[in-house]
Amino acid sequence: MHSHPRGHLVYAARGVLSLHTDRKTSIVPTNRVGWIPAGFTHHHRAHGGTDMRILFLPASLARSVPARPAVFTASDLVRELLLTLTGPRYHDGAGRGPGRAAHARLRRVLVDELHEAREQPLHLPEPRDDRLRAVARRLRAHPSDNSSLAELGRAAGAGARTLSRLFHDELGMTFYQWRTQLRVYHALVLLADGHDTTRVAHACGWANPSGFIAAFTRIVGTTPGRYRNGPGHER
């Protein structure tokens, strides 16, 4: 974990990123953009063949976005602005003359777009209770594990009712919601590595691809096939 004195945006031009804080893991696929305010302790990780872009914002612009980490929908315009601003011509505003002025103008347009954009988090809250942590470790290591909550509870030393209450009270979601989010996260990583939909579905615990496609589309906002072959793979 580390912090940076300047707030910055993180974006996957191709592939998928994960953004980790002490409270949660946020997933940033190609149709999302992550924001980390200045001084906020975190680390981010690129999975597979990911093309990670980072754009620092001056304090004057950072005031227009949340004072906490956030994940926004990346519209086509936001995507093109990020690709341009992190490209060789304008990279981090280090150029001189007209290039630097253009960089500043494009950054302002980008922040205006993010100010209007919908926050669309895709995250996994980090459990703190030891029994929940034991369940989370097992499922992170084996996302295809279809054990019931009662079966997982026996290994973790807690009953299904206790674990269900802990998921609700500590993580704000049901066990099945959390496990689905975890599986979709793993699916994004596998898709970024080029695996096909059927193989990803089985590797992440779905008995048939149609159930996987429905869950993935509901959470990510696009089908696995469109995600894998989307704009992040065009250039």
Residue 121 forms part of a structural domain = no
Number of domains in the chain: 2
Residue 20 domain-assigned?
yes
Look at residues 152, 140, 142, 232 and name the one whose alpha carbon lies nearest to residue 193.
232
CATH code for position 103: 2.60.120.280
Handedness of CA 148, 19, 27, 59 (dihedral sign): positive
Q: pTM (2 decimals)?
A: 0.78
Residues 56 and 148 reside in one and the same domain: no
- Domain C-terminal end among 84, 116, 148: 116
Please identify which residue in the block is written with the tokens 């950072």. Answer: 62
pLDDT tens, position by position, 126-180: 888 999 999 999 999 999 999 999 999 998 888 999 999 999 999 899 999 999 9
Indicate if 108 and 171 belong to the same structural domain.
no
Q: Checking phi first, is residue 194 left (phi over 0); if not, alpha (psi -120 to 50) or beta?
A: left
Task: Mark which of 85, 116, 147 sits at the end of a domain.
Answer: 116
pLDDT tens-digit map of 185-231? 899 988 888 889 999 999 999 999 999 999 999 999 889 988 887 66
Give the SS3 label for residue 220.
helix
Per-residue DSSP letter, 42: B
The residue from 68, 98, 116 where one domain ends is: 116
pLDDT of residue 97: 43
Give residue 91's domain range: 8-116
